[in-house]
Structures are given as C-alpha cells and as structure tokens.
C-alpha cells in the first residue's frame, strides 16, 4: 500500500546546485519499499551516482516522519541513464553505505509492486511518461557497480 509520494526530492548535485528524483514509498506489514525514479528533466548527478546521499535523505525526510525508518527497507532505483530498474542493497544498511545493484526486469518490478499492493503502478508510470521502457529488456545485465 502506498504510504507517501514525493515528487522532485532534491539532493546535492556533485557540481553545483541540486538534482532531484521522484520517490514513492509503500508499506506492507514490517516491510517498506522505496522506489527512486531518476528523471531526465535535470542535468545533475544521477541517483545511481548519489545513491547513498539520496537514501539517507529519504530516510531522514520521508521515512522517519512517517515512522517507517525502523522497518526493513527494500530499495528499487530507476536509472534515467541506463533506462533500467534495479534493486539496491547496502552492505551496511544502517549507514546506507556500500550499495550494489541487481537488474530488475519489468515483470519482476511489477511483481514487487503488486506484492506491496500497488498493481498497475508500473503501467501508470509508463503511461505518464515517468518511465521509458524502450530498450529496458535489452539492457539486462549483471549486477552493476557505481557509474555503470
């Protein structure tokens, strides 16, 4: 079930000013799903390259005020540059450090969203133009490291 949506969450751009991403948070029992959707309407640092900063900002500004920061959090990132979705796992989840990414197919992404009682959300994002599926399935690959 969707708990909160935060369009255009700002985070520091590595060069100057701010970049932003859309954030959607879902809760099912003791589990929380955070979906970070990087967008093409800024020329700043990608979510992929700033994932630790973005995750900490989400925890402080969105999860904590909603009372969700103590639950088990699962992260999914939509990369604007790679045009794929990935799960993100932090080697140190308390400090949100040491991220690793694992490719997530459209079918797997929809399955996760459905499990969090958000069936059809992926299709809605595609209709809105918030996600571009062109080339998504062809981009499939191995786990990514930063900057890939």
pLDDT(112) > 50? yes
Cβ proximity of 48 and 147 under 8 Å: yes
pLDDT digits over 65-104, tens only?
999 988 999 999 988 777 889 999 999 999 999 999 999 9
Of 31, 25, 32, the closest CA to residue 121 belongs to 25
51-69 mean pLDDT: 96
Return the domain boundaries, the chain. 2-127
The span from the CA of 41 to the CA of 15, in Å, is: 16
* Residue position matching structure tokens 């088990």: 72
pLDDT score for 147? 44
**In which region does residue 120 sit, left (phi positive, over 0), alpha (psi from -120 to 50) or beta (all else)?**
left
Whole-prediction pTM = 0.86
The residues, any chain, with a CB within 8 Å of residue 53's CB and separated by 6 or more, are: 11, 12
pLDDT(55) > 60? yes
């Amino acid at each position: 079930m969707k708990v909160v949506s935060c369009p255009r969450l700002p985070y520091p751009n590595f060069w100057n000013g701010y970049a932003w991403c859309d954030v959607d948070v879902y809760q099912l029992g003791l589990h929380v799903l955070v979906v970070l959707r990087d967008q093409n309407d800024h020329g700043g640092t990608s979510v992929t390259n700033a994932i630790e900063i973005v995750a900490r900002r989400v925890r402080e500004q969105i999860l904590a005020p909603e009372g969700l920061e103590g639950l088990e959090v699962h992260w999914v990132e939509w990369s604007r540059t790679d045009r794929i979705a990935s799960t993100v796992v932090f080697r140190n989840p308390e400090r949100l450090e040491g991220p690793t990414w694992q490719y997530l197919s459209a079918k797997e992404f929809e399955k996760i969203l459905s499990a969090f009682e958000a069936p059809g959300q992926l299709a809605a994002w595609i209709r809105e133009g918030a996600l571009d599926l062109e080339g998504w399935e062809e981009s499939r690959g191995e786990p990514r490291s930063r900057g890939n």
